[in-house]
Amino acid sequence: MKIAIYPGSFDPITFGHLDIIRRAADIFDKVIVCVMVNAEKNPMFSLDERVAFVHDAVKKWNNVEADSANILLAEYAKEQGAVAIVKGLRVMSDYEKECQMALINKRINPDLDTVFLPASERYTYLSSSIVKEMAKYGASLDEFLPMHMIADIQQRAKRVSEF
């Protein structure tokens, strides 16, 4: 069985992420969407909340599951028996950063490859940061997020912007 890990902070998961997940699910036997802890980021939602959002968003695919990890990605992939990391690329600057990470992951786990999937044209501009910024100002999020998440994100963004 070919297992891939799609890592990220997913704060929140967007249609751009879901497009990469759908495409990865067509390539691999199993895709684990892993919500990672990133010390450089200050997430709007807790780790458990983000995993729950991901779980709800991917339940329509039988070969996709949600998980979380607070260890090195290459080590997590080894624990899961994964053969690949899936990374979505929006712009060239994403490639430079992700290529460096792929080399580090390969050094830690020589059996692990990284597969880069370019963002679909309609999602190249989309990021979780942009969605959170739009939510702070009450903009419509219908084109960017699954409907089941929008009310929670708008409510949280409103609370955060009040401080």
pLDDT tens-digit map of 44-75: 999 999 999 999 999 999 999 999 999 999 99
Mean of all residue pLDDT scores within the chain? 92
Alpha helix stretches (DSSP H) within the chain: 15-27, 47-58, 73-80, 92-108, 128-136, 147-161
Confidence at 158, pLDDT banded by 50, 70, 90: confident
Across the range 97-111, mean pLDDT stands at 95
pLDDT of 161 reads: 58
Domains of the chain: 3-122 (3.40.50.620)
Quick one: DSSP state of residue 106?
H
Across the range 87-112, mean pLDDT stands at 91
Task: Using alpha carbons, select from 97, 90, 89, 98 the residue that is nearest to residue 125.
Answer: 90
pLDDT of 162 reads: 56
Provide φ and ψ at 68, rounded to 5°: -140, 160
pLDDT of 49 reads: 94
pLDDT one-digit tens code per residue, 25-39: 999 999 999 999 877
Q: Is 131 helix (H, G, I), strand (E, B) or coil?
A: helix
The β-bridge relationship of strands 30-36 and 84-89 is unpaired
Q: Is 28 helix (H, G, I), strand (E, B) or coil?
A: coil
Measured CA to CA, the distance from residue 83 to residue 127 in angstroms comes to 26
Quick one: DSSP state of residue 143?
T
Active site residues: 17, 41, 90, 128
pLDDT at 22 over 90: yes
pTM for the whole structure: 0.93
Counting Cα atoms < 13 Å in the Cβ hemisphere of 21 gives 26
